[in-house]
Structure 1
């Protein structure tokens, strides 16, 4: 879902997150680069240490056969569904859980996740109401009419707020299926007034409604190997966890409505006019959008409210959800898109009212096509037959269909901000077909696996749409203001959806930015892209968890990224690396080396400082015969020396000289005469380690760049130094010149060689003699055997 900046972003409540466990938190090293082994779940037969599904991986399935009746006059939806639930788990189930999402619109059936409230400085007449205690039912939420098994026998069930438990008449064993039926209805809310994802928008000027029917039927919860039933309440924020299945949906609406839904419509011949059907057939082979329902037809339909009815029938396979839209206001266009990776021919389509015509007719369907093609390059080939964008003044996603915003002014003009926002939301919501509709993560627990991963690929897709596209999430510099916030306003990305303070930056922007930093700065595009595709391929049509993503990215790339997951996903520290000091040194090329005289005495017998308990007990044990005591050939000089049987003067002073350097010759002096050394001292002020990226500008105007990996901080996470030798004078040093690490304070990222605050020194340079020390030799020192005049 695409979030706008709203008052939600300043709600203050404490988040609950996965712990960033550290074994040595008081140290200046060994924490940032500690492995995640103590944090991630233990691999098993269902989920492997490589991040791939294991040989025992399983997931349950739910197929739906649904009929729906839209009563436009009463703004009521009536539905009946037959659900076939397959237990592929090794567990025996004696109850199942369903989601009743519409109960969130009820003031007496909702999840009751309240927020703190205070006196307003000002309010409106609509908001100023007498507090009703107890609250009166506002008439919204699901009304269950009947819950039975396949034979019509009533089933026992319990509704707990937005969740519904059905008790099974007998245990559902592995490999078995259970068929049940539910009849229900609910009053459709005004989505513009009440908020939420599903509902209607009324257009007073022409008296028509535009319906976006989402979370509209009782939906099966996920039963998984890592959690059991995912039956967390729906609060309106954390979205969904849903099993895959096949859907057949019949939707009865007023005859002049146009309907778009998940999957393929199976009866266009019955619901379209002959002209519209001919246009649809033409659009099936078109490479430019063709209007299937024209603007003129939509305007005419607005004026006449038909009392006749039509039923639209849709089929969707291997999807986790079904949503639909219905209105007589719709213009409908479409074109054929071919996905190169699997040669899949997809109908890209858009539905929009006259209020959005000036933007959607030009851009929407082409943006849909661009999105599914680009996402297919970076993840998995788009597998479905349809991809649709619906203009509905919001942003929300479902398989093969999504709802977006973007309307012109009445005169047909629009701002650049509205245009770019529309393109961004279409790309984002269509992109959700991949995350989480195909790579099916648990949005209710980990919003970032849905929104963050999708926002990242949205950024890649926007960049390929227009190199000048003003992407707000993805580039490292755009996350800086969020990372600057006080710690009491931050929480780790690894925080449950309901408990995130600043939802947009935390669940969307920060994970997207982190992945972009991995791709551009840490791993490189080629390595990252291969690993990201591996994750997408492994977990397509499955239920991945965070550990599966973290492990796959490392397994497929050969990069140890635990430090990055720990810092960026489990922590709240920002990046703030500072250039503290630059010390300049020039070489003393005329230095004369002085041999180093070493004075020493011969080694004393090597004896243990303390006779430990093992040595004492071994010596007292009559059953132990020591090898050197039995074998006389092993009893050399040092056997006797250590036992006091050989005498050596250990007080006599000996000496030797190390003379391994000599003065530079003229050729060497000429070679090094222009060398200057620069020691740069850095401080990690923010706490989050990151590569050190430097741009050197020289006095002659030339530039050089250097990048040290984040591992430079591994032995001291607070301070490091790096020395460079250049044969021309430095003018300045810029840290993170491309602003690619999300450094929150760039004022300490620059050094200029103005001479005012520089430390200058000299360092001596000698020529190394070729002879050197040989490992295992004494380098001429007298040993005890020599001092005693013995050879054995």
Structure 2
């Protein structure tokens, strides 16, 4: 072989191997291998905790004082850290999340900004930090009272231990601190803080991230000490809490845990009402009325009271405090026989909306989340009214929802409030109990929780206007500009379109798994298995992926890869429909079919015009030109044709005759994967008699060619229409190519854009005005 031929052969081999490699690497059915961590004794290949799984524990004793005059929190704590790991630790990492508000915070530094031609005072104030936030550390001490060596690195603090903490040992760290409480309505919003009510000169406090909290040390990541920049939330360690909170004596306090000293802080009337509420499973009982709250607003006291709470096996602690609070409660029975108190606190500005819906929404959430996962294990579940965003903590959450001055509210406000309560109370399950790492994977709590929120909302009322869940609601996002879309498996701080990515797309993916790929029974079993395997533990994405497959015997690697690791979207096109029928060779049947086909094809333009313009043809002028073939009809069956067919038919086998007699319709359909994301193929066939039939083809039809596939469908009736993805369950981004015969979906446009301002009147106000107008007439 000469050198040139050898070179050509080598080049062809390289090209061939490269093409094969590219095809393998792009094959959506290749198994998730290098993307997932290797199973080990801590996390096994089935997605469950391994036989040597461990996790740390951090217990807290805290004394907290809320300064209502200066809006400050003062605190001291003793952290008892239990080293259950097999590793010797020479330092501990502690989170100082309030430092995100410090004047030198990186969050301010990395925030982009611009100067516009017209700037408001608020816009100018946002260009530089003015609020003096962040922890002011008075001391950090070792368990023996000696000063500890520590280093603060922005929102994290490393405490260097005097002695190495060996496996199985524990150590104490004592910290004293204070910080200025931010105004949630002014100082950049936030998950917690104060809200000032100018009309009655009072504050409502929703307080969280208020103490130095232990970072997670885990088998799969070591110390989770990523800096808190504001978006990626929290990775926290389970432990027991003993917390004393000192507040103005006329405040009501809600907190994580169980109140230990009700006789010291509640009136006899409030205690009696609470006893009544513990027996009420249908309607909430008012513990502190609106009238009583209004009186407290007027007569502020200078004395203080200390509320004492204890909580077992929780990952965090939060509380709310105000003299404005109205309080109601009702009992919720768990399937194991235990009782949980669903409770709400809210100012009069939330009524009548909150009194009517909040606590019932809490109870409803506990019922249905428990149905899909496990019984709610804690004694209380609080919903606290706050003006801004919703936020969650163990046993307590802060939720928006305020009415107009006249007590009316919009439909959006009502369903937004119910939805946020369901969502935030639902976070008790994910991540407060199934304790995923929010700093790294927002979707593991927000996405799973949004999915369960959708299921729970649909149990609230028929056609509840859920924002997220069904596949068709994610279409606009999926077909957007890929430059501004991130894979779900992206770190929390680096996500484009945070809500769609971390909430909407994961929730939609789970709903597609449940409705289309796995089926409700298999999905619900596997999902409940995941929740129970990892409750009160620290799961990672691979644990979810592996459990869902392990518990269902369904290979989902293709789905996890496409939906979670890429930005591909679903666009399956029905590009070709070819009808066929078996040639029976029966002249009485086939000749008539041929005649119909010829007629259906129509005439060409020349034949049409010749018939109109040629007055007489030659043979019409001279009939002697006409012979046998002039009027011969080749499609007219004769007795000889019938005899020949009878002889042919009798020579067929019984199976062959059955095919001939069935005379089925065969339709060859070709599909193209234009979006890159494979999905099952769901087809609705409409027949000539008006009936319909749905066929579901698993996603594995794409396993040999993920770009283009064909499949033949036999029927006993003629098909007149085909609809691909008829129930909007695959998030197909272009439905114009989903039909046979093809059709376009009509879009509407506005004739003109009104220049007038829309009315701010809500439907309740409009209805009242209409009734007033009708009465005056």
Do they superpose with TM above 0.5?
yes
1:681 pairs with 2:670: yes
1:360 pairs with 2:354: yes
User: Displacement, 1:454?
Assistant: 0.6
Which structure would you say has the larger RCO, counting Cα contacts within 8 Å and 6 or more residues apart? 1
Going by fraction, where is helix more abundant, 1 or 2? 2
Q: TM-score, normalised by structure 2?
A: 0.83
Find the residue that maps to 2:351 and give its secondary structure.
helix
Aligned match of 1:103: 99
Find the residue that maps to 2:45 and give its secondary structure.
coil
Is the alpha carbon distance of 1:121 and 1:424 closer, same or farther for their aligned partners in structure 2, counting shifts above 3 Å? farther
Find the residue that maps to 2:366 and give its secondary structure.
helix
Aligned match of 1:6: none
Is the alpha carbon distance of 1:714 and 1:468 closer, same or farther for their aligned partners in structure 2, counting shifts above 3 Å? same
For residue 476 of structure 2, the aligned residue among 478, 481, 504 is 481
Distance in 1 separating the partners of 2:652 and 2:417: 72
User: Displacement, 1:130?
Assistant: 10
Find the residue that maps to 2:424 and give its secondary structure.
helix
Distance in 1 separating the partners of 2:566 and 2:517: 18
* Preserved CA contact (<8 Å) 2:101 2:132: no
Aligned match of 1:261: 255
* Preserved CA contact (<8 Å) 1:493 1:506: yes
Structure 2 unpaired stretches of 5+: 1-17, 588-647, 744-777
1:249 pairs with 2:243: yes
User: Displacement, 1:591?
Assistant: 7.5
Aligned match of 2:185: 192
Find the residue that maps to 1:38 and give its secondary structure.
coil
1:454 pairs with 2:449: yes
Is the alpha carbon distance of 1:29 and 1:87 closer, same or farther for their aligned partners in structure 2, counting shifts above 3 Å? closer
Q: Which moved more, 1:320-329 or 1:106-115?
A: 106-115
Is the alpha carbon distance of 1:550 and 1:252 closer, same or farther for their aligned partners in structure 2, counting shifts above 3 Å? same
User: Displacement, 1:670?
Assistant: 9.1
Aligned match of 1:271: 265
Q: TM-score, normalised by structure 1?
A: 0.81
- Give CA deviations for 1:217-245 in whole Å, capped at 9, x if unaligned: 00000000111100111111000000000
1:158 pairs with 2:151: yes
For residue 551 of structure 2, the aligned residue among 550, 553, 556 is 556
For residue 295 of structure 2, the aligned residue among 292, 300, 306 is 300
1:508 pairs with 2:503: yes
1:749 pairs with 2:743: no
Aligned residues: 663
Distance in 2 separating the partners of 1:485 and 1:670: 49
* Preserved CA contact (<8 Å) 1:732 1:753: no
Is the alpha carbon distance of 1:542 and 1:662 closer, same or farther for their aligned partners in structure 2, counting shifts above 3 Å? farther
Find the residue that maps to 1:704 and give its secondary structure.
strand
1:579 pairs with 2:574: yes
- Give CA deviations for 1:369-421 in whole Å, capped at 9, x if unaligned: 11011111111111000001001122000000000011111111111111100
Alpha-carbon RMSD across the aligned residues, in angstroms, is: 2.1
Distance in 1 separating the partners of 2:658 and 2:728: 40
User: Displacement, 1:665?
Assistant: 8.0
Is the alpha carbon distance of 1:211 and 1:589 closer, same or farther for their aligned partners in structure 2, counting shifts above 3 Å? same
* Preserved CA contact (<8 Å) 1:29 1:714: no
Find the residue that maps to 1:47 and give its secondary structure.
coil
Distance in 2 separating the partners of 1:670 and 1:37: 47
Aligned match of 1:231: 225
For residue 215 of structure 1, the aligned residue among 199, 204, 209 is 209
Aligned match of 2:721: 732
Is the alpha carbon distance of 1:735 and 1:423 closer, same or farther for their aligned partners in structure 2, counting shifts above 3 Å? same
Distance in 1 separating the partners of 2:369 and 2:208: 24
Aligned match of 1:374: 368
User: Displacement, 1:587?
Assistant: 1.9
Is the alpha carbon distance of 1:692 and 1:129 closer, same or farther for their aligned partners in structure 2, counting shifts above 3 Å? closer
Distance in 1 separating the partners of 2:260 and 2:537: 27
Q: Which moved more, 1:559-568 or 1:188-197?
A: 188-197
* Preserved CA contact (<8 Å) 1:348 1:388: yes
Find the residue that maps to 1:277 and give its secondary structure.
helix
- Give CA deviations for 1:1-26 in whole Å, capped at 9, x if unaligned: xxxxxxxxxxxxxxxxxxxxx99663
Find the residue that maps to 1:532 and give its secondary structure.
helix
Aligned match of 2:168: 175
User: Displacement, 1:536?
Assistant: 0.5
- Give CA deviations for 1:100-127 in whole Å, capped at 9, x if unaligned: 1111112214455613333325321232
* Preserved CA contact (<8 Å) 2:582 2:660: no
- Give CA deviations for 1:509-566 in whole Å, capped at 9, x if unaligned: 0000000000000000000011001100110000000001100110011110000000
Aligned match of 2:85: 89
User: Displacement, 1:129?
Assistant: 5.4
Find the residue that maps to 1:468 and give its secondary structure.
coil
* Preserved CA contact (<8 Å) 1:589 1:664: no
Q: Which moved more, 1:108-117 or 1:487-496?
A: 108-117
For residue 721 of structure 1, the aligned residue among 707, 710, 714 is 710
- Give CA deviations for 1:423-450 in whole Å, capped at 9, x if unaligned: 1000000000000000000000000101
Is the alpha carbon distance of 1:208 and 1:179 closer, same or farther for their aligned partners in structure 2, counting shifts above 3 Å? same
Aligned match of 1:646: none
* Preserved CA contact (<8 Å) 1:30 1:715: no
Aligned match of 1:10: none
- 4+ residue runs over 3 A deviation: 22-25, 109-113, 129-132, 659-674
* Preserved CA contact (<8 Å) 2:431 2:445: yes
* Preserved CA contact (<8 Å) 1:62 1:86: yes
User: Displacement, 1:570?
Assistant: 0.4
